[in-house]
Amino acid sequence: MSSLPDVATWIREQLPTLAEKYGVPGAAVAVLAGDQVVEAATGVLSTATEVTATTDSLFQIGSVTKLWTSTLVMQLVDEGRVDLEAPVRTWLPEFRVADEAAAAAITVRHLLDHTSGFEGDIFTDTGTGDDCLERFIEVLADVPQLFPPGERFSYNNAGYCVLGRLVEVLRGKTYDQCLRDHLFTPLGLTHAATGPYEAILYRVAVGHIETGPGAGYEPAPVWALARSNAPAGSMLAMRPADLIAFARMHLGDGKAADGTQVLAPGTAARMHEKQVELPYLGVMGTSWGLGFERFDRPGAEGGELIGHDGNTIGQAAFLRMVPLAGVAVALLTNGGDAAMLYRDVVDHVLTELTGSGLPPLPTPPAEPARIDASRFVGTYSAQVADLTVSQDEDGRIWMLQTPRGIFEDLGERPERKELLAYREDSLIPAEPSQGLYIPHVFLGDDGQGRALYLHVGRAIRRA
C-alpha cells in the first residue's frame, strides 16, 4: 500500500488527464487518511465563464445530502426526542399517503432505510418559502403505496423530505437553519451553502448536461432543483474538504476534528450497520444502513465500504468511507462521464490506502441465453417515467423508457434499449449508459405469473 503523500501526488498528476478523458468540465477531490487531508482540483466551474475550479470551489453534493439529513434525525434520537420504531405520525400527524393503513404504520426507520414502500420520486415544487417542506407533506396525500412498509428496499427521495420536515418540527426552525446550527457550526465548516443565495458568495460550479446524443455537454439552464426537495439532495453545495469533515466525524465515533461531540458515542456505527438487503443492482450498494449505502467487497483487506452518491442537474458527487482503515474520499464533479472518473480515481485511492478497491462492475454475458421473457413483458409506471418491456419475434428483449413529469420538463427524450438475460429474474442492457451496465431486476408476482416490480434501485410497479 502507498502513503497519503504518494496518493496525493498521483491525484494531482492524473486528475486533469482523467477529467479530460471523460469529458468532465471541472472536478475536485479530497482524501482523508487518519488525521491528514489532501486536496486537488482541475478544470473549470462553467464552460461559459471558464472560471477555474479550485479546492475552495463549491459543487452540489446531491443525494449525499441524505447522510446529513439522517444525521440530523439521529441527533434527535440521541436526545431521546425521536424513536426509530415509532410511526412518523407521532410527530407529523398530518402525514398522509394514498394508503391510509400504510401511512399510519410507516416508522422513522422505514424512512431512513428506504423501506417505507410509497413512491418516492416526487419532485413537486412547493415554492421557495420557509414553509416549502410543510407544503410538500400535503402533496404526498395521493402518492401510491407500492408495497407494505418494511417489505423491501426502494430508494425514496420523498421519504427524506418527510424526515427533513420532522427535524424542522422538533427543532422549531427551517431545515436549512438546522443544518447550519447542528452540523455546519460544530463541524467548523466555512464553505457550505444550503441554496443558491449562499452559494453565489463563493466560487460555485454550474452543472453541464447533454442536449442530445453526442451533442456534447453545455452549462445547464437551471442551477438547482426545488427547495422542497432539499433534505433529499436538491441544493446543498460545499467543497470536498467540507464533505470530508463530515466523514471524519462519522469515522471518529461522532466527534468533530476539534473534539465536539456531534453524535453520541456509538450512534455513527449504528448508522453504518446493515438494515436492509438490496437485489443485485451492480452500481448501487448491496445493502443499506440508516442513510448509508453499503458495498460488499468479498475478501477486502480494508473492511466494509460505505458512503453515498449524489446527482443533481449536471453535477455528480461521490463519498466513500472505510471505517476500519480511517479512510474517506470525496469526489465532486460538474458534468461529463463522472461515473467513470469516479471509478478510476476512487478505486485507485482505496486500493492504495486500504489494500482493496471498489467492487467490480456488472457486465453483459459474452453469449447471452435466449429466454422466454413473458414474465417480464409489460409496462411499469412511476411518476418520472414509464418503462415498457417487450420481446420481438426473434426473441430479443427491448425496453422503451418514456420520461414523465420533471424529467420530461428537463428535456429528456424517450430511449429504447436492448436487454439481455443476466441472472435469475434479472436482465442487463446490451449497451452501457455513461460506461455503466445497470441490471434490471424483476421481483414479485402479479397473480398471473408476471413480475410485479421492475427494480432499478426503485421498485417500479407494473401498471
Q: Could you give the CA distance from residue 219 to residue 212 in angstroms, rounded to a whole number? A: 13
Place of cell 442536449: 211
- Tally of residues, the chain: 463
| Residue 329 CB partners (closer than 8 Å, separation 6+) | 29, 30, 31, 32, 318, 319, 320, 345, 346, 349, 350
Cell numbers describing residue 371: 429466454
- Which spans in 140-211 are helix H? 157-171, 175-179, 185-187, 196-199
Query: What angle in degrees, to the nearest 10, is found between the helix axes of 132-139 and 157-171?
Result: 130
Which residues is 331 bridged to in the sheet? 29, 318
Q: Could you give the CA distance from residue 285 to residue 44 in angstroms, rounded to a whole number? A: 31
Among residues 196, 240, 217, 213, the alpha carbon closest in space to that of 335 is found at: 217
The answer to whether 325 and 302 have CB atoms below 8 angstroms apart is yes
Catalytic residue among 46, 57, 63, 426: 63
Q: Could you give the CA distance from residue 461 to residue 451 in angstroms, rounded to a whole number? A: 9
Q: CA torsion sign, 108 to 111 to 115 to 117?
A: positive
The answer to whether 21 and 336 have CB atoms below 8 angstroms apart is no
b/e per residue, 121-133, with b = 16+ CB within 10 A?
A: bbbbbbeeeeebb
> Is residue 356 among the annotated active site residues?
no
Q: Could you give the CA distance from residue 51 to residue 450 in angstroms, rounded to a whole number? A: 53
Q: CA torsion sign, 450 to 143 to 428 to 390?
A: positive
The residues that are catalytic are 63
